[in-house]
Every structure is written in C-alpha cells, then in structure tokens.
Amino acid sequence: MNLYFVRHGQSANNAVWDATGNSNSRVEDPELTEIGRRQAQSVAQFLAQAGAGAPANAHDPHNRRGFGITHVYTSLMTRAAATGYAIAGALGLPLIAWEDWHEAGGIYLDDPAGGSKIGLPGKPRSYFERHYPGIILPDHLDEAGWWNRPYEDDAARRQRARRALADLLSRHGNTPDNVVIVSHGEFFNLFMAEVLKSGGIDGWWFMLNNASVSRLRFEDTRETSIVYLNRVDFLPAELVT
C-alpha cells in the first residue's frame, strides 16, 4: 500500500495566522480561502496524472508514471472535505469521510472569558450532502453534527493516531492500493509518531505546507518506507503557503 497524505488547502485560520502570527480570531471549522481553493485544484490535477490504475511502486519513487490512486478519504473538517472533494472529482473516485483523521483538538473555540476550550457540534449530515454530493458519510452522522464532544486532550489524540494507523493497515495493508487521505498538519505529526514508534512528538515537528503531498509505502507489517515528505513542487510559487 502507498499512502499519500495530503494536507488541506489554506484555510481562513491559516491566513489569519500568516497575517498576524496569532489565532485570536480563529473560527472553529474554517473554510478554504481563495488561495486554498486554487491549491486544492492544483493538488487534484497533480494526483490525477496518468489517471487511476497507473503504476505506483517502489521503482517509481517520484511518481513520474502517475499515482494510480484507488481510494480518497477525508477528515470531516470542512477545509479537508473541500480539498478532498476536488481530488476525488479529478480522479473520478468517491470521497469517503473518515472521522479519525481530523485535526488535533476537534471542533472547538476558546472561551474569551476563562480561556478554556469549548467543544462545538461540527457540521451536520445535510451540510456535507449539500456541499459535497456523493460523499460517503459515517452512518451515525446526523443533524446534531459530528463532533459534539469536549476539546480533545493530548492522551485522546495520541490514542486516536494509534487507532488511525491500525485501521489504515486493517483496510489496506498488504494490498496494492494507493490511498489518499486529506488531513491536517498536527495530526500528521501524531500519526508519524505512531509510524516511527517514537512514543510522542515532543521535540520535533514535520513541517507541512498547505496542499502538500507526503508518500509512505507500507511494504508489509515489518517495513515502512518514507518515500517523500511535504512535496509542493507542483504548486506555483504564489500558491505555496
């Protein structure tokens, strides 16, 4: 199995951080910016090279012969879903929501009075069906929203990363599948801590640009190859954020 981890395109919160250096005006579930939408289209076109079913193996580490993507998954955060929808559309594949790949913390806002983090509902089923027709959603997602929990603490997010890796290998391990998962920067670091069996992410960080592609090849249960990380060579310079 090849995993292509795609970070979502630039979100409104990313743009605020880039402009101000802080998250004081962040929203709980930001949309893509105009730059983010252009990034999503660019990464979609990049991954659609040579079409579905093209070879993507250990002898083509830079995907010069294409990607042959077989599955496209997304987190349920809107910036990821919008990016994933562009990718799935370019590939002619269904977009499959996978809740466990959301960003660390979940859907929340900071309480301006006390500074605590308050969990919020997240988008309901009708939102996804209206904005991303054909998306395959979890059966349990209804109009109450998909989060509806407190802020996710460190222990819970690390446990979730462990579960996401185990479930990924259960679904696609020991197969020729080429899997795209559209997810988030901090969660990539949590996921890589599990891949590398490091026990945590304290003291190091994998930097990911918006709409970047990282490729991991899971040969079998014993060996994983990190083929490349944070690839953005397909983006015009003005879209690298």
Would you give per-residue pLDDT tens digits along the chain (241 residues)? 999 999 999 999 999 888 887 777 889 999 999 999 999 999 999 999 865 455 556 678 889 889 999 999 999 999 999 999 999 999 999 999 999 999 999 999 988 887 799 999 999 999 999 999 999 999 999 999 999 999 999 999 999 999 999 999 999 999 999 999 999 999 999 999 999 987 777 788 999 999 999 999 998 667 899 999 999 999 999 999 9
User: Where are the domains positioned within the chain?
Assistant: 2-239
22 residue type, one letter? N
pLDDT value for 133: 97
CA–CA separation, 131 and 109 (whole Å):
23
With H, G, I as helix, E, B as strand and everything else as coil, classify residue 51.
coil
**Cβ atoms < 10 Å from Cβ of 23:** 12
pLDDT given for residue 68 in this prediction:
92
The kind and range of the H/E element at 15 are helix 12-20
Please give the pLDDT value at position 65. 86
| Both tokens assigned to 69 | 């993507």
* Dihedral in degrees, nearest 10, Cα atoms 50, 44, 88, 64: 30
Strand pairing report for 213-218 and 224-231? antiparallel
CATH number of 2-239: 3.40.50.1240
Residue 58 pLDDT? 62
Joined together, the tokens standing for residue 95 give: 């977009």
Distance CA 181, CA 208 (A): 14
46 vs 34: CA distance, rounded Å: 19
